[in-house]
Amino acid sequence: MSQGNVTRTTEAMGHDGAHAPVRLWTKGGPVDTRYLVPDEISLIEERHEASIGEPASMALLGFATGTFIIAWPLSGFVGTSALPATVPSVLVFAGIAQFIGGLIAFRRENQFAGTAFGVFGANNVVVATFLLMQATGMIAATPGSGAMRMLALELFCFGYIALMLGIVAVRLNGAFVAILLTLAAGFTLSGVQDYYGSSMPSLVGHIGGYCLIASAALAAYTASAMVINSTWQRPVLPLLGPRHQTAA
């Protein structure tokens, strides 16, 4: 039986006559309980959401800024020698700040937003660290080298994560679907360029950069819509779905 955001899946009596644990599905994940009922859990969720600010707009702006900055040289608009200059934005805003946004989203019992912001925030810390190691000569920076192939494998992993979350976001709104699917394409094509190096036309990597710029632009629009809609307390800017205020 479904009530609000919570679904009750099973109910049984134990051997001692007491109720066996019942699994209730919430936005934060499954909860096994003998005592709580769906309405009570829904009330707890509402209190958490009302008492803690929504972190998605801040996290999305961090994501958008870092992704745009790093995609600019990847798209060929400036040389890749400029990549080390992207580290401050990618590490602090797109990495640490976005990761903190993910932790707050988990506190609000928002598994989707917590996973997305936590994962991509951590990824940006990894990428920034990789760029710093390249800048100091600790690892090679030449596409097709062993070190760059390891970075490519990391990008492929995050391409899969973005694709998976994009499919999940179909239940939320079109804005998140578009952000995540363009991000998946950007990660994958950039990874292909890093893995194969000069044997792959540079256009492949440039297209990957364009996809990342598109993802950043969509994220900036979505963050703007969330702030504006929340301030005006109505859907001024559409997010192409039934849920206009939150990330899940």
- What pLDDT shows up at residue 23? 79
How far is the C-alpha of 105 from the C-alpha of 54, rounded, in Å?
7
- 148 three-class SS: helix
- What pLDDT shows up at residue 5? 53
Q: Strand pairing of 29-33 and 6-8? A: unpaired
- What pLDDT shows up at residue 12? 45
Please list, in sequence order, all residues whose beta carbon lies within 8 angstroms of the beta carbon of residue 172, skipping any fewer than 6 positions away: 112, 241, 243, 247, 248
> Block means of pLDDT (10 residues each) for the chain, length 248 residues?
46 54 75 75 75 90 98 94 94 98 92 96 96 90 88 96 97 94 98 92 96 98 94 88 48
Dihedral sign (CA 98, 103, 107, 111): positive
Q: In the chain, where are the structural domains located?
A: 2-49, 55-232
Which residues sit opposite 33 in a β-bridge?
22
How far is the C-alpha of 130 from the C-alpha of 7, rounded, in Å?
43
- What pLDDT shows up at residue 51? 73
What DSSP assignment string belongs to 201-225? -HHHHHHHHHHHHHHHHHHHHHHHH
